[in-house]
Amino acid sequence: MNNQIQKFCDSSMSTIEGWFGRAFGKELNPMYYLGALTVYLFYIVLVSGIYVFVLYESSIFGAWSSLEYMSNELRWSAGIMRSLHRYASDAAIITIFAHMFREFMRDRFRGVRWYSWFTGIPVLWMTALLGISGYWLVWDTMAQYIAIASSEMMDWLPIFTEPMARNFLTSEDMNDRFFTLIAFIHVIGIPIFLVFGVWIHLFRISRSTINPPRGLAIG
């Protein structure tokens, strides 16, 4: 980065951190714990996701109805946990991008910091895949649109003999095994790789903070 540009970015980031510092206090400034907040939110996503999955029916016609049952008939238990799962997932995406933005503005993506920046990219992609597979499991109109859009992007890869998108146009083109596979990928497959990816990401960081202060976590 050009020195003048770097000074401007660093000064701008200090100003933003100052705003949050006045709102939350220096000890609980969320800008200092964006990585830790992301890990904390993943804890919430994991626990709430396991609870929801116990009541989830992995079938074409049972997926949406089981989620509707949780939201309407079990709203004070499963409904709350489903909402917690969703909003914690959204918040994790925000903290991830905020974390990347802060590190970039602080010029922490080269030199000794290059390793953490480079290993953070796969973590971002795995998080995106985790979110997409989670949307697929809902299987409403939005989920079908996301399935078609994401499969159309995959069709650009020269490894598929036929377009994948056509498999998601109607329910008749799919079967219950597909939802079992997606559930396995979402609940077990990607999370295992994600935990391993986070471990690699933090491997060279001495005294890394993976848990935010209690006051920030509660509030």
Residue at 185 is within a domain: yes
CATH number assigned to the domain comprising residue 37 = 1.20.810.10
For residues 16-31, give the mean pLDDT: 91
List C-alpha distances in Å: 137 to 53, 197, 216. 10, 24, 31
Cα distance between residue 34 and residue 213, in whole Å: 11
Q: Calculate the average pLDDT of the chain.
A: 87
- How does residue 173 score in pLDDT terms, banded at 50, 70 and 90? low
Residue at 43 is within a domain: yes
% the chain with pLDDT above 70: 89
DSSP characters over 96-165: HHHHHHHHHHTT-SSGGGHHHHHHHHHHHHHHHHHHHHHHHHH-SHHHHHHHHHHHHHHTTSTT-SS-SG
Give the number of other CB atoms < 10 A from CB of residue 131: 18
pLDDT in the model for residue 217: 85
Residue at 47 is within a domain: yes
- How does residue 99 score in pLDDT terms, banded at 50, 70 and 90? very high
* pLDDT at 77 > cutoff 80: yes
Q: Which amino acid is at 179?
A: F
Residue at 202 is within a domain: yes
- How does residue 189 score in pLDDT terms, banded at 50, 70 and 90? very high
* pLDDT at 169 > cutoff 70: no
pLDDT in the model for residue 203: 86
- How does residue 149 score in pLDDT terms, banded at 50, 70 and 90? confident
pLDDT in the model for residue 98: 94
Give the single-character DSSP code of 73. T
Residue at 161 is within a domain: yes
Domain extent for 73: 30-218
Residue at 23 is within a domain: no
Task: Go through 1-35 and write b for each residue having 16 or more CB atoms within 10 A of its CB, e for each that does not.
Answer: eeeeeeeebeeebeeebeeebeebeeebbbbbbbb
